[in-house]
Amino acid sequence: MSVKVLIPTPLQKFTKDQATIECSASNIQELIDALEANCPGIKARLCDEAGAPRRFLNFYVNSEDIRFLDNTATPLSDGDEVSIVPAVAGG
């Protein structure tokens, strides 16, 4: 199954400057592993030492935050769009 992944600009150096990547995965964890296989080094930017998504990154599946779904076990279907969005803070 093919999933479209939207890559934020700071991480595009790992994707050869591509803003979107097509991957095959059945859930977010498999997607992260597939991204690492295709774009070596990106997983260290996406996940902490325990393998969990970094706190300052938000993952969305079809505009739904995975934190309110099943986190990295969130299932993916053919044609889904996954957005990786850096958190923004300030005041």
Per-residue pLDDT of the chain (91 residues; tens, 9 = 90+): 799 999 999 999 999 999 999 999 999 999 999 999 999 999 999 999 999 999 999 999 999 999 999 999 999 999 999 999 998 876 6
Residue 64 is assigned to a structural domain of this protein: yes
**Domain residue limits at 31:** 2-86
pLDDT for 27 equals 97
pLDDT for 83 equals 98
Give backbone dihedrals phi and psi of 88, rounded to 5 degrees, phi first. -120, 130
What CATH number corresponds to the domain at position 15?
3.10.20.30
| 4 three-class SS | strand
Residue 21 is assigned to a structural domain of this protein: yes
DSSP string over 15-71: TTT-SEEEEE-SBHHHHHHHHHHHSTTHHHHHB-TTSPBPTTEEEEETTEEGGGTTG
pLDDT for 91 equals 63
